[in-house]
Structure 1
Amino acid sequence: MFNNSYVPGLDKGKGLYFLFVKSESKTSGGLPARPVLTSYYKSDHFKRRPYDPYNVYTSPNEAILCSDSSQSMYAQMLCGLLMRHEVLRLGAVFASGLLRAISFLQNNWKELARDISTGTLSSRIFDPAIKNRMSKILTKPDQELAEFLVGVCSQENWEGIITKIWPNTKYLDVIVTGAMAQYIPTLEYYSGGLPMACTMYASSESYFGINLKPMCKPSEVSYTIMPNMAYFEFLPHNHDGDGAAEASLDETSLVELANVEVGKEYELVITTYAGLCRYRVGDILRVTGFHNSAPQFKFIRRKNVLLSIESDKTDEAELQKAVENASRLFAEQGTRVIEYTSYAETKTIPGHYVIYWELLGRDQSNALISEEVMAKCCLEMEESLNSVYRQSRVADNSIGPLEIRVVQNGTFEELMDYAISRGASINQYKVPRCVSFTPIMELLDSRVVSAHFSPSLPHWSPERRR
């Protein structure tokens, strides 16, 4: 593993990685349809992998392969605590996943400490495979460790909690590029400023590249494309919008791997060994340089994606449809949504979608809708979002309830005035459908008259795919 040239001694300890399988469905032909990591974890390549001193996990396979995320998380956290002095690195696939693990510890440290103190496993674990495996790990009481955990976790200030509990941790192994960059300040708070290593760039479609400087700052991460993973082509990206990216893929519009230019942005197009032909991944990349002849790219963003907490991706058209569907619930009252915007709230764990609504009633004023109806609107919006979002809400618990914040009448006019004061053209101004700029957030939040959350989980089931 190339990280050892930057962080020596990784073969002397273990990695505490929070890894999970996700629910899967079947195609109409009976084939399993599931995320690539779930497929890998369930394969013999993972379950029967040869011993590698540089890749020893604290989490047993039985915990990783448990489809119940709560039991899986509990067992993985318990193992990480029991082996706390052996842990040299903490990780998860996404930054949000690692923060979810910290939140889980905040909510369950008393029960975990009790298990360690008594040497017995909590009754919340009923998966036979996990119970059998944990009986060989949690073999005796450890009162000293239990008292240590109580002393550390009972404090109100959790700054640097990662290095307090796992003092030998050298870095965090998480993806913090793209939408995950929003979690960097929170990770720095909990880790006491540990380095964050972004080692690879991949998706379910293909493995794309690696970061040859894994210990660099997150803002400096560039991935070197590995040309043997697939056939890579690039569609020049138009900064004025995604119009160029919507053009048909032909020989004249695509740029080959060797011909990309430093500083320019492209949409990634791949042809894979598995059968994808000129598949548009939807990632916008900027060329930062070359390693020998292989180009290096900085991940900029997902094309057209407005909101993302973890693996979910909600675009403008989908958000618009969700708002329209929800607003029908009070249309008969003569009330309508006249403007809206959104943002991904990640200060809470798990993060959740926040939608700002400005309402207009029959009397041309900001309408008042009952709490019950607004709660139904929140749930209706969630029902209108894609299956990945709903799976994250229902099965993975990685996204919290959607929130609608109703703002005062005239708020979006103030938002436009603010944009114009900063140089925007009054003729070309469009309400941003997603916001993140702090002064805009402060303006919106200062005008909130009521806030409402989804009262229950949206419908989701591992439906058969066509």
Structure 2
Amino acid sequence: MGFSWFRMTVPLCLAVLSVALAIIGQIPAMPPVLPTTIGVCSLVGMAVIWRDISSKIKGENRTFGSLFSQYLAVKVVGLLGRRQRAKLESDTLKVKQAQEETLLKRLRKNADTLYGKQYDFSSVKDIDGFRKCHPITTYGHYRELIGRIAAGEEKVIIAEKPLILAMTSGTSGASAMLLSTKDTNTEFFLQVKPLLYDDDSDDDDGVTVCLDAMRQAFPETESLQRTTKLFYTPTFRQSEAGIPIGPNSSTPASSRHMLNLYTTPAPAFEVPSEKDTLYLHLLFALKDPSVGTLESNFASTVFYAFTALQDRWQELVEDIAEGKISSALSLDPNVRARLETLMKPDPQRAAQLRGHFQEGFKGIARRLWPHLHLVLAVDSGSNQIYGEMLRANYCEGVAFYSPFYAATEGLIGVNLWPNEPNRRYLLCPRSMFCEFLPESSLEEETPQTLLMEEVKEGDNYELVITNASGLFRYRIGDIVKVVGFHNQCPVVEFQYRRGQMLNVRGEKVSEALFLGALKKAVAQWPGAQLVDYSCAESGILGDSTGGSDPHYQVFIELKGVRNLTEEQRYKLDVCLQQDSAVYKSFRIKGSIGPMRVQLLSEGSFKELRKQMMAYTSTSPNTFKMHRVLRRKEYADFLLGKTIS
């Protein structure tokens, strides 16, 4: 019995170990020619594997190579996920030790840099010593230093050369240029990175720990089904020293191992146009009725994909029926030729799709893909409303998992509770060294920070991070609420960005507070469904504001109504007064005037999104809608879309 087990499992173990080690760059992949004995044993092992694979197949027209690659991927991810989950659990039992070890390791690594010498990193022995010698910082502290790195100077802030100069999305201000390093990417891989990436990949759309949590919560996701991943290849420019500048993401096509997992073929990731790439994502997803997961960085991207599907479904169905690629797409001839070799006429699938679309779009996802298990996308923070709209309409009945809390600065937390409606994230003690500024002290000149073991449940804090890529005691502008602890480690909910706060008289109305009031008001407008919204403080509007008192200009796109009465508009002001005692007191005193609510035409925010991305060079993968507009031209654009 023992020998039979050995003969069947050794080939699989060798294969898994070979691929796993190759993934993390420790050895090259094992050569195909193995010793004769193991080669014979492999036949037996492969029979066992094929039986296991056969039990998990949902789709058709898959080659053995494609299925085996995905099967191996699932096994390796499971192995790494369980290992990393165990390490994370261990760290949550000794948070202070894990945090101090992480901090000191980074200080030692960068002690010989210009920056490390300036702050004498080599003499720092503990957390207290670090906090004494280094101030709390914002982006202005690093701007000139990062400029020197972009120009080619080495060992300025960090010991290694950055892989890219990563641009933030600019949601709460101007985009910032940050350093992205191999260490940052390693943290993503070990904590949340998806399987089988090349070791130089820096995409942040994750798994090991998150996939382990997902596997436990949604075991059906282990079936060998393809994922539709909504991703748009970013464009990069070069710094003076030839370092790529752009968003911190890379295409799945940069790793040959990933392609078998996705419905979208490699040539589609070479298409520069977001509109044309989205069409191809939808086309190849519709061709495959066995899609198991819809994946994107943010729920907004999934939402915009379904609105595009609703607009273009007839064109897509025609392409599937005739086995062609629409001539309306502006494609490189070589890319078009490669894509068209993958298209064959499928009138039967086209007829199925046409029937589903003609039934309407509520619950369309489960009708198009009967085996769809999950939407994998962040739907907290500014993406909350898109997640709610998807669950209520296009993706009715499909589970959602918001896997992690991350930023251009790196991984911050992971969601170990996929089935919980409130998106909670366990802070990762070895990803970032975290400090916390109490919400009450945010405006102080020299505020005092707390550590992970010192924060209190129920309180709000601004995160201050020291990461793996040259940010030290850096205020990232995110306000989080500590909602509990996992062992000794804080569990947080994202609340708002400091730069996305309405504040015309010192009242400080956060995004979360305003959205809560807006949802209450919309619920009292018969037939209305919220599609999107933004606000502006009257000060940026100048003469177009329509009043002298400081006030909020609110832009709303709704479904189900074409007009709002003055009473309905005023209801929003009343709801905010009910939720914010400070706002109410300013309204009663007359120092803040009543809100002015503009109802916009359909598609206004989709057009605004295009303008914002063009202005900031933000990738569709990282774009987040600005809830408070800081540029007059954006507010003026929306004023021009007013219908009521």
The normalised TM-score by structure 1 is 0.67
Q: CA 1:415–1:120 in 2, change beyond 3 Å: closer, same or farther?
A: closer
Work out which of the residue numbers 278, 287, 294 in structure 2 matches 1:73. 278
Measured after TM superposition, the shift of residue 122 of structure 1 is 0.9
Are the counterparts in 2 of residues 22 and 34 from structure 1 also a CA contact under 8 Å?
A: yes
User: 1:57 and 1:235 mapped to 2: Cα distance?
Assistant: 42
Amino acid corresponding to residue 300 of structure 1 in structure 2: Q
Match of 1:201 in 2: 405
Amino acid corresponding to residue 47 of structure 1 in structure 2: S
Work out which of the residue numbers 168, 173, 186 in structure 1 matches 2:389. 186
Match of 1:291 in 2: 486
Match of 2:229 in 1: 17
Match of 2:542 in 1: 324
User: 1:417 and 1:16 mapped to 2: Cα distance?
Assistant: 40
Measured after TM superposition, the shift of residue 47 of structure 1 is 1.1
Match of 2:637 in 1: none
Does residue 144 of the first structure (1) align with residue 348 of the second (2)? yes
Superposed CA offset, 1:187-215 (max 9, x none): 12222232211111101111111101123
Gaps of 5+ in 1: 239-243, 328-334, 349-404, 436-443
Superposed CA offset, 1:224-262 (max 9, x none): 111211211111112xxxxx2133456xx1111222221
Match of 1:50 in 2: 257
Superposed CA offset, 1:76-131 (max 9, x none): 1011001122x111122211111111111111111111111111111123433642
Are the counterparts in 1 of residues 557 and 601 from structure 2 also a CA contact under 8 Å?
A: no
Match of 1:341 in 2: 552
Measured after TM superposition, the shift of residue 342 of structure 1 is 3.8
1:98-177 alignment runs, 5 A limit:
98-128=302-332, 130-138=335-343, 140-155=344-359, 157-177=360-380
Measured after TM superposition, the shift of residue 22 of structure 1 is 3.8
Q: CA 1:429–1:273 in 2, change beyond 3 Å: closer, same or farther?
A: farther
Match of 2:439 in 1: 237
Amino acid corresponding to residue 180 of structure 1 in structure 2: N
Does residue 34 of the first structure (1) align with residue 265 of the second (2)? no
Are the counterparts in 2 of residues 71 and 125 from structure 1 also a CA contact under 8 Å?
A: yes
Match of 1:367 in 2: none
User: 2:558 and 2:571 mapped to 1: Cα distance?
Assistant: 27
Are the counterparts in 2 of residues 117 and 146 from structure 1 also a CA contact under 8 Å?
A: yes
Are the counterparts in 1 of residues 435 and 450 from structure 2 also a CA contact under 8 Å?
A: yes
Gaps of 5+ in 2: 1-210, 503-510, 516-531, 618-644
Q: CA 1:462–1:99 in 2, change beyond 3 Å: closer, same or farther?
A: closer
Are the counterparts in 2 of residues 206 and 272 from structure 1 also a CA contact under 8 Å?
A: yes
Q: CA 1:231–1:31 in 2, change beyond 3 Å: closer, same or farther?
A: same
- State the percentage of identical aligned residues: 23
Match of 2:192 in 1: none
Match of 2:83 in 1: none
User: 1:450 and 1:114 mapped to 2: Cα distance?
Assistant: 30
Are the counterparts in 1 of residues 533 and 556 from structure 2 also a CA contact under 8 Å?
A: no
Superposed CA offset, 1:111-170 (max 9, x none): 1111111111111234336424422421x1000111112222133x31111101011111
Are the counterparts in 2 of residues 306 and 313 from structure 1 also a CA contact under 8 Å?
A: no
Does residue 228 of the first structure (1) align with residue 435 of the second (2)? no
User: 2:407 and 2:498 mapped to 1: Cα distance?
Assistant: 15
Superposed CA offset, 1:400-421 (max 9, x none): xxxxx99979x87995799489
User: 1:81 and 1:417 mapped to 2: Cα distance?
Assistant: 43
**Secondary structure of the structure 1 residue equivalent to 2:541:** helix
Q: Determine which structure has the larger strand proportion and give its number.
A: 1
Amino acid corresponding to residue 323 of structure 1 in structure 2: L
**Secondary structure of the structure 1 residue equivalent to 2:386:** helix
Are the counterparts in 1 of residues 259 and 266 from structure 2 also a CA contact under 8 Å?
A: no
Q: Determine which structure has the larger helix proportion and give its number.
A: 2
Q: CA 1:77–1:420 in 2, change beyond 3 Å: closer, same or farther?
A: closer
Superposed CA offset, 1:416-460 (max 9, x none): 79948998436556648989xxxxxxxx57xx8999979998594
Are the counterparts in 2 of residues 232 and 256 from structure 1 also a CA contact under 8 Å?
A: yes
Measured after TM superposition, the shift of residue 337 of structure 1 is 5.7
**Secondary structure of the structure 1 residue equivalent to 2:481:** strand
Work out which of the residue numbers 261, 278, 281 in structure 1 matches 2:476. 281
Are the counterparts in 2 of residues 408 and 449 from structure 1 also a CA contact under 8 Å?
A: no
- The count of residues paired between Structure 1 and Structure 2 equals 369
User: 1:346 and 1:449 mapped to 2: Cα distance?
Assistant: 5
Amino acid corresponding to residue 424 of structure 2 in structure 1: S
User: 1:118 and 1:257 mapped to 2: Cα distance?
Assistant: 59
**Secondary structure of the structure 1 residue equivalent to 2:477:** strand
Match of 2:217 in 1: 6
User: 1:420 and 1:291 mapped to 2: Cα distance?
Assistant: 34
Amino acid corresponding to residue 293 of structure 1 in structure 2: Q
1:402-417 alignment runs, 5 A limit:
415=573
Match of 1:254 in 2: 449
User: 2:305 and 2:602 mapped to 1: Cα distance?
Assistant: 27
The normalised TM-score by structure 2 is 0.50
User: 2:323 and 2:573 mapped to 1: Cα distance?
Assistant: 58
Measured after TM superposition, the shift of residue 32 of structure 1 is 3.0
Are the counterparts in 1 of residues 426 and 486 from structure 2 also a CA contact under 8 Å?
A: yes
**Secondary structure of the structure 1 residue equivalent to 2:377:** strand
Are the counterparts in 2 of residues 116 and 142 from structure 1 also a CA contact under 8 Å?
A: yes
User: 2:603 and 2:487 mapped to 1: Cα distance?
Assistant: 54
336-345 or 113-122: bigger deviation: 336-345
User: 1:29 and 1:108 mapped to 2: Cα distance?
Assistant: 44
User: 2:330 and 2:373 mapped to 1: Cα distance?
Assistant: 34
